């Protein structure tokens, strides 16, 4: 129709979202009949109201077209998997209209202004471009080295943005028994004491960014908050297995999380509350 008869004007009526959004139409109009008279109203999908109006008129949800009505933007692929798992373990699963998606960055937020600005640019762009097509969204990112003063400043100026209480997701997984169980799943037989001893041996190393908080206590809240958990786990897996096993971030983080949820899920209650807060934010209006 578009290639053979471009001189013609067409008005198509139907209930297929695929037809509507793949027709590449230069204009979209809603035709509504009142008694014996019809009114034709132009629609612009750039506005949330019109996009949802089209969905309502055609009898489908924006979920059918874009996958989800609400999105939780998270740090990476690990969080995409882990966050829904945690909510399910606490009998508070995400509703069907929610999706969890990683932001388009290859690594965690760092202390550099460049990286912070990059993530905040993603936040702004997602808000402007996707807000009209979604009912709600929220951003939950690693805090990395952001100070206690910086975090509330960012969250106040970007009201849909929240940072983890600890440096990164892996900081919640530094439990010797859970690490031991994961290594056992990978064929490495160690005791909990051996894992604890190795954490104690390297926990104060400057390479992991929390030497000033190290007090020979692997349960110290400040140390657990600021240690580079991802790098620590990488070192633990190498050291405890004589370099036979690397820490595979997505696979091993998810596995350790499952182990904790199966045995002592309350150890992740702070992380669960963080996710619940993101859900609460995403249930509100979309505008960032």
- Which CATH number goes with the domain that contains 134? 3.40.50
Looking at the structure, tell me whether residues 52 and 176 fall in a common domain: no
CB 23 within 8 A of CB 12: yes
Looking at the structure, tell me whether residues 53 and 100 fall in a common domain: no
CA distances 234 to 110, 165, 184, 200, 219, Å, are 18, 21, 16, 15, 19
Looking at the structure, tell me whether residues 175 and 159 fall in a common domain: no
Query: pTM here?
Result: 0.74
Is 8 domain-assigned? no
Looking at the structure, tell me whether residues 77 and 156 fall in a common domain: yes
The mean per-residue pLDDT over the stretch 215-226 comes to 94
Is 183 domain-assigned? yes
Looking at the structure, tell me whether residues 274 and 148 fall in a common domain: yes
Is 27 domain-assigned? yes
CB 98 within 8 A of CB 74: no
Is 251 domain-assigned? yes
pLDDT at res. 242: 95
Is 213 domain-assigned? yes
Is 6 domain-assigned? no
Least confident span in 8-22, 138-152, 187-201: 8-22
The structural domain count of the chain equals 3
Looking at the structure, tell me whether residues 221 and 275 fall in a common domain: no
Rounded distance, CA 267 to CA 53, Å?
A: 44
Is 3 domain-assigned? no
Looking at the structure, tell me whether residues 96 and 152 fall in a common domain: yes
Looking at the structure, tell me whether residues 133 and 273 fall in a common domain: yes
Looking at the structure, tell me whether residues 157 and 76 fall in a common domain: yes
Looking at the structure, tell me whether residues 21 and 99 fall in a common domain: no
Looking at the structure, tell me whether residues 148 and 84 fall in a common domain: yes
pLDDT at res. 107: 41
- 58-84 pLDDT tens trace: 454 544 545 678 889 888 889 999 999
| Owning domain of residue 121 | 70-165+269-282
Looking at the structure, tell me whether residues 90 and 213 fall in a common domain: no
Mean pLDDT, the chain, as a whole number?
82
pLDDT at 15 over 60: no
Query: DSSP letters of the chain?
Result: -TTT-TT-------S-HHHHHHS--S-EEEEEEETTEEEEEEE-TTSHHHHHHHHHHHT--HHHHHS-SEEEEESSHHHHHHHHHHHHHTT-PPPTTEEEEE-S-SS---SSHHHHHHHHHHHHHHHHHHGGG-SEEEEEE--TT--TTHHHHHHHHSTTEEE-SSSSGGGG---HHHHHHHHHHTT----HHHHHHHHHHHTT-GGGT-GGG--S-TT-HHHHHHS-HHHHHHHHHHHHTTTS----HHHHHHHHHHHHHHHHGGGGHHHHHHHHHHHHHHTS----
- 100-153 pLDDT tens trace: 888 754 443 344 455 566 667 766 766 666 667 778 889 898 888 888 888 888
């Amino acid at each position: 129709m578009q290639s053979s008869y471009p001189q013609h004007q067409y008005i198509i009526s139907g209930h297929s979202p695929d037809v509507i959004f793949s027709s590449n139409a230069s204009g979209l109009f809603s035709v509504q009949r009142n008694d014996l008279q019809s009114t034709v109203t132009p629609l612009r999908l750039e506005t949330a109201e019109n996009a949802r109006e089209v969905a309502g008129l055609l009898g489908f949800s924006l979920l059918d077209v874009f996958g989800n009505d609400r999105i939780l933007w998270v740090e990476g692929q690990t969080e995409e998997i882990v966050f829904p798992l945690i909510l399910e373990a606490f009998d508070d699963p995400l509703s069907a209209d929610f999706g969890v998606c990683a932001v388009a960055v290859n690594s965690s937020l760092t202390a550099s202004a460049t990286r912070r600005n990059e993530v905040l640019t993603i936040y702004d762009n997602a808000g402007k471009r996707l807000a009209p097509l979604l009912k709600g969204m929220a951003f939950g990112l690693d805090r990395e080295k952001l100070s206690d003063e910086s975090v509330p400043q960012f969250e106040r100026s970007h009201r849909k943005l929240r940072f983890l209480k600890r440096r990164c997701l892996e900081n919640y997984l530094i439990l010797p028994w859970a690490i031991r169980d994961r290594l056992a799943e990978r064929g490495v037989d160690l005791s909990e004491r051996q894992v604890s001893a190795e954490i104690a041996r390297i926990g104060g190393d400057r390479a992991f960014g929390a030497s000033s908080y190290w007090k020979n206590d692997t349960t110290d809240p400040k140390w657990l908050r600021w240690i580079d958990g991802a790098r620590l786990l990488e070192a633990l897996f190498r050291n405890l297995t004589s370099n036979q096993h690397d820490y595979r971030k997505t696979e091993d983080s998810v596995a350790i999380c499952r182990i904790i949820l199966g045995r002592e899920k309350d150890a992740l209650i702070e992380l669960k509350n963080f996710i619940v807060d993101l859900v609460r934010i995403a249930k509100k209006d979309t505008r960032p």
